[in-house]
Amino acid sequence: VNNLHLLHPDQIELAKMLVDLGQSHLFQHWPEPGVEDEQKKAFFAQVAKLNSNYPGGLASYVKNARELLADSKEGKNPYDGFTPSVPTGEVLSFGDNNFIKFEEAGVKESQNAAFVLVAGGLGERLGYNGIKVALPAETTTGTCFLQLYIESILALQGASSRLSHATSPKVIPFVIMTSDDTHARTLDLLESNSYFGMKPTQVHLLKQEKVACLEDNDARLALDPHDKYKIQTKPHGHGDVHSLLYSSGLLNVCYHYVISLWHGNSIFDDVCVCSCPCLSLQIHLRDAGLRWVLFFQDTNGLLFKAIPASLGVSALKHYHVNSLAVQRKAKEAIGGITRLTHSDGRSMVINVEYNQLDPLLRATGHPDGDANCETGYSPFPGNINQLILELGPYIEELTKTGGAIKEFVNPKYKDASKTSFKSSTRLECMMQDYPKTLPPSARVGFTVIDTWLAYAPVKNNPEDAAKVPKGNPYHSATSGEMAIYRANSRILQKAGVQVEDPVKQVFNGQEVEVWPRITWKPRWGLTFAEIKSKVSGNCSISQRSTLGLKGRSILLQNLSLDGALIINTVDGAKVKVGGSIQNKGWMVESIDYKDTSIPEELRTRGFRMKKVEGLEETYNQPGEFSLKPC
């Protein structure tokens, strides 16, 4: 009370609110006025920020926390009353007619899409010190994840405009959610690489804020152990992306942005340009043609191989929500897509997180819990956290909820009495829980894609990856890179190229298949039909080969490759590559991950490319060319 005169009127309101919320311990220890006054003001600046960053403010946060902590203490299961069963969804098989049909529809639709990358996580499990999107997806070309994503979006943009013969191509907005841990470094990566070819205005960064920590079951906010004028904070989870998109008004910006890039648009002259994401905006967005928002995670180098077909599924099946899934090994650290049916008749298809699936199954008559079935996989498809939402229903829902997502709390208790915590906790939320608040009429579906084509995240450090049970995926930098070569090899095989079988090798204690190191720029081939159209005759590639296709119009015709071949072209240069190309090639050389003289991004994978001999050709003028050494 003595210190109140130091505060602005709105800060006094915040102080009163904290007292009403039972949080007076936060300033009980404060000395008399005149001592550390600046720190006191800074404290309220932080409170104001925490208050405005949470839907409903700190009052809602504390209320939600008390309820969730009480449920947790009682051992209440959020899935009480629900029976899990295996849902049905669209199961795709790479390269068949159905797949090709969906891919074509997806490419057409992609000009109506916006992409949202959640990249606020630090990747503690990976043990990498930089931001994860700066890691090379593969080391043959050294392309980092962010570059790969941007080039994939640009390739989709180009393919989509070509398909619709658009005179003025639409620009696909790209949103990146960052956090204090990743924001500056993400911006720096973009700026120092000229946004990897994207227009800076096409990229929107949204920074998520952390939430207040809780020190006990009464949801008393925790002070930072190193600063008594600061509330301790921790990340709230990727679920923040929905409230951030809502509160930023960015969907609105995207709308204006999209139409501003369109041709003179007189039909938009008389529409409301209110800056709040109101319901009328939904109509405008639809009119403007933006129809889909695609959410994706930071380190999956295969993802965009699955995007066209899955977006096609959303469009042709009219899904409001479409989750991408793959076959899942029991106990694999990815959620399971599950149908949950409540005894009161409610039913929904939702991700059940990996740590909850096993207890839920055991509690509902499956004594083996999360176990593989006769196929060798869990019957529940694995959620890869790639969500495709139809924009209209999404905005409608955000307008109702403010983007708030069902939260959970995971306190680590000191003992069985569950009265105190080992360390402070906080509420968390996940972006895939978005459908939990949707009405039963919502069209929620999922699409299962071949794992080898769609999913190879880089999440685990070498030690943890080496301990993964045999047969389960490592999800490491080693397996993530090798998966890219395997996917590209298998795609070319399907397109008619004879690609030699892989050999098995161990790197960082992980046995992986080493296929030829085949890479291409997304603009070389985004869909199976496009790739197939660029391969003809009898082509073959030996296991020890490296192939890098860095250009749009490179045609492989009767090529026999046994060595390394890299081709760079500008748009407008059409190059036919054929004949026999043989050289000593590039070798995959084992390295010791403990050798700190080697850069961390190489050590985490346990190998590097030794460029012994290769053929590299660059075509930087438009025209028709042929490369046929012998």
Question: How many helical (H) and strand (E) elements, i.e. helices and strands, does the chain have?
Answer: 17, 33
The tokens for 257 are 């942005």
- Strands, E, within 232-302: which ranges? 233-234, 292-296
In the complex with ligand UGB, which residue's Cβ is closer, 119 or 134? 119
| SS3 track for 325-362 | EEEECCCCCCCEEEEEEECCCCEEEEEECHHHHHHHHH
Please report how close the Cβ of residue 145 comes to ligand UGB at its closest, in angstroms: 10
Q: Which residue is nearest to ligand UGB (CB)?
A: 121
Residue with smaller CB distance to ligand UGB, 236 or 523:
236
Nearest CB to ligand UGB, comparing residues 384 and 588: 384
Q: How far is the CB of 306 from ligand UGB (least distance, A)?
A: 12
- Give residue for tokens 């190229």: 497
Q: For the beta carbon of residue 606, count every other beta carbon within 10 angstroms.
A: 25
Least distance to ligand UGB, CB of residue 210, Å? 8
As a three-state string, the secondary structure of 121-175 is CCCCCCCCCCCHHHCECCCCCCCEHHHHHHHHHHHHHHHHHHHHCCCCCCCCCEE
Residue of 90, 116, 120 whose CA lies nearest to 211: 120
Q: How far is the CB of 568 from ligand UGB (least distance, A)?
A: 31
Residue 427 or 541 with smaller CB distance to ligand UGB: 427
Nearer to ligand UGB (CB atom), residue 136 or residue 237: 237
Specify whether the CB–CB gap between 593 and 612 falls below 8 A. no
Site of interaction with ligand UGB (CB under 6 A): 118-121, 177, 179, 208, 235, 237-238, 297-298, 334-335, 351, 353, 383-385, 430, 457, 459
CB of 274 to ligand UGB, least distance (A): 29
Chain-centre distance of CA 621, in angstroms? Answer: 37
Rounded Cα distance between 628 and 619, Å, is: 14
Angle between helices 37-52 and 57-74 (to 10 degrees): 70
Q: Give whichever of 121 and 614 is closer to ligand UGB, judged by the CB atom.
A: 121
Nearest-approach distance from CB 542 to ligand UGB, in angstroms:
33
CB of 133 to ligand UGB, least distance (A): 8
* CB closer to ligand UGB out of 125 and 228: 125
Which amino acid would we find at residue 10? D
Q: Give the shortest CB-480-to-ligand UGB separation in angstroms.
A: 11
Q: Which is nearer to ligand UGB, 235 or 277 (CB)?
A: 235
Q: How far is the CB of 408 from ligand UGB (least distance, A)?
A: 11
Residue 204 pairs in a beta bridge with 175
Q: Between residues 243 and 569, which has the closer beta carbon with respect to ligand UGB?
A: 243
Give the nearest distance from C-beta 118 to ligand UGB in angstroms.
Answer: 4
Minimum CB–partner distance for residue 127 and ligand UGB (Å) = 13
**Do 537 and 568 form a contact (C-beta atoms < 8 A)?**
no
CA distances to 75, 137, 293, 435, 618 from 387, rounded to whole Å, are 31, 21, 8, 11, 38
- Which residues are CB-contacts of 488 (< 8 A; sequence separation ≥ 6)? 515, 518, 519, 520
DSSP string covering 354-419:
HHHHHHHHHHTT-TT-S---TTSSEEEEEEEEEEEEEHHHHHHHHHHHTT---EEE---BSSTT--
Supply angle C-alpha 472, 477, 481, rounded to 5: 90
> Shortest approach of ligand UGB to residue 128 CB, angstroms?
12
Name the DSSP class of 598: S
Cβ proximity to ligand UGB, 26 vs 117, nearer residue: 117
Return the number of other C-beta atoms located less than 10 Å from residue 523's C-beta: 22
- Our CB check for ligand UGB shows the closer of 100 and 431 to be 431
The smaller minimum CB distance to ligand UGB, of residues 139 and 432, is found at 432
